[in-house]
Amino acid sequence: MVRLQAEAGGIVTLAFHPPRAAADEGDYLAALDRIGVWPAPFALLAVLGDGQHLSAAGERTQALWFKATRAAMNRQCRALAIVRAHAGPRMAEVFGRLWSFPVLVTPDRAAGRIFLERYLP
Question: What are the tens digits of pLDDT across the range 6-23?
Answer: 999 999 999 998 888 889
Determine if residue 49 is left, alpha or beta; phi over 0 gives left, psi from -120 to 50 gives alpha, anything else beta: beta
- The pLDDT assigned to 50 comes to 72
Q: Which amino acid is at 53?
A: H
Task: List domains and CATH numbers for the chain.
Answer: 2-117 (3.40.525)
Looking at residue 39, what DSSP letter applies? S
Question: What are the tens digits of pLDDT across the range 31-75?
Answer: 999 999 999 999 999 999 876 689 999 999 999 999 999 999 999
What pTM value is reported for the model? 0.93
- The pLDDT assigned to 21 comes to 87
Q: Give me the half-sphere count of Cα atoms (radius 13 Å) on the Cβ side of residue 108.
A: 5
User: Is residue 58 a contact partner of residue 27, using CB atoms and an 8 Å limit?
Assistant: no
- The pLDDT assigned to 89 comes to 82
Question: What are the tens digits of pLDDT across the range 63-109?
Answer: 999 999 999 999 999 999 999 988 778 888 888 899 999 999 999 99
Longest dimension (CA), the chain: 38
- The pLDDT assigned to 49 comes to 85
Helix, strand or coil, per DSSP, at residue 36: helix
- The pLDDT assigned to 52 comes to 64
